[in-house]
Amino acid sequence: MTDSSPSPDRPAGEHLRERLRLAVALDGTGWHPASWREPDARPAELLTPRYWADLVAEAEAALVDLVTIEDSLSLQTEDRRSPTRDRRTDRVRGRLDAVLVASRIAPLTRHIGLVPTAVVTHTEPFHLSKAIATLDYVSGGRAGVRVQVAPWPREAALFGRRDFPALSYDDLATPEAQQLIRDSFDEAADYVEVLRRLWDSWEDDAEIRDVATGRFIDRDKLHYIDFQGRWFSVKGPSITPRPPQGQPVVAALAHRSVPFELVGRSTDLGFVTPQATEDVAPILAEIRRAQRAAGRDAETVHVLGDVLVVLGETEQAARDRLARLDEAAGPDFAGLTSDALVFTGTPAGLADLVADWHAAGLSGVRLRPAVLPDDLQQITRAVVPELQRRGLFHDSYEAETLRGLLGLTRPANRYAATA
């Protein structure tokens, strides 16, 4: 594993311009709402392990670094402003638990990183810490987690422990909404800190397993974390020994300044949504400022740009395909929109975009296939070979763990260092 620390004459993040990192975001039958109606879609198999195993196997065969698996606490909806009024019956509804899907797939794969999404606003860090530690054991060190906030009334009503105001997009600029956003991401930062401390609460050699002496563990190498904060009070230790990676990879999706701060101060991997190449530099500047403010200059924080992709052999074929999908989505469908850039074109054109973003400073991209398996196969069988031809992407897996694939060193245990 190579040393990924920045040299003194380069700012944090400049050392990341090595080979491109590639992730694929898996969600249902794809990111287009009409994807489930395509001839090769498999909507009847959405709740089967074979479906997800086949998708991840396709990505692994193309040497993709990692897949993310979407999740949520409420039903999928296109109407974020009034989700309770979204009663359409021609959309995919329902999903499996992303962490459990990743754990089921892990033994069927060998190299690819598995990064399920977990909503942290309403769940407990102790539970998630052992779930992701277990995924790291099951996968042999290829686990990560994408933390997601959900400060909305519809999610809160599922638990009955907290109340959140019903805010529309028009309200987001109000002081009340801004404070809610700030609190939600500050809570997520504390959540990540608890995860990391729990993963470190067992030293690497805490398990003795000596039958002759009857000692299974060295109790002095299990540590209370004694975390006290605004949202959590967690004593520890974990019930799961330290994961194989020491610290599984923590990721987050960020669209604006407050989430950028979370990426910089708390994560190993950020997903961002530039709409053009010129957006990359200011996004990275905000993340690097947060990274420096958190005292993490010497740490690697990768940033990948998200792109929703609709691919075709020609640009016109891709546009025609998107028009057909939009038409299938219904007469009131205004056209595919996304928080991320929607790319409609050829694999070579997508490779051009990826190369430009990589040259602008991003570590790579996370591609969202509009239709599964169609656009995933275009990515794996056309885009990846084009990136390899240009010398941007690897031609073999060079590490056993997800941290290794991302060029991240295995961190020392914070408690062992001070014991």
* Tokens found for residue 126: 């102790």
d(CA 185, CA 165) in angstroms, rounded, equals 16
**SS3 label, residue 211:** coil
Domain segments of the chain as ranges: 44-305+346-360+391-411
* Tokens found for residue 170: 């028009």
d(CA 183, CA 179) in angstroms, rounded, equals 6
Give the chain's length: 419
| Stretches in the chain below the pLDDT threshold 70 | 1-17, 79-86, 417-419
CATH tag for 44-305+346-360+391-411 (out of 2.40.37.10, 1.10.150.120, 3.20.20.30, 3.40.50.12240)? 3.20.20.30
Cβ–Cβ under 8 Å, residues 338 and 369: no
* Tokens found for residue 355: 């190369």
d(CA 44, CA 51) in angstroms, rounded, equals 9
Residues with Cβ within 8 Å of residue 11, at least 6 apart in sequence: 288
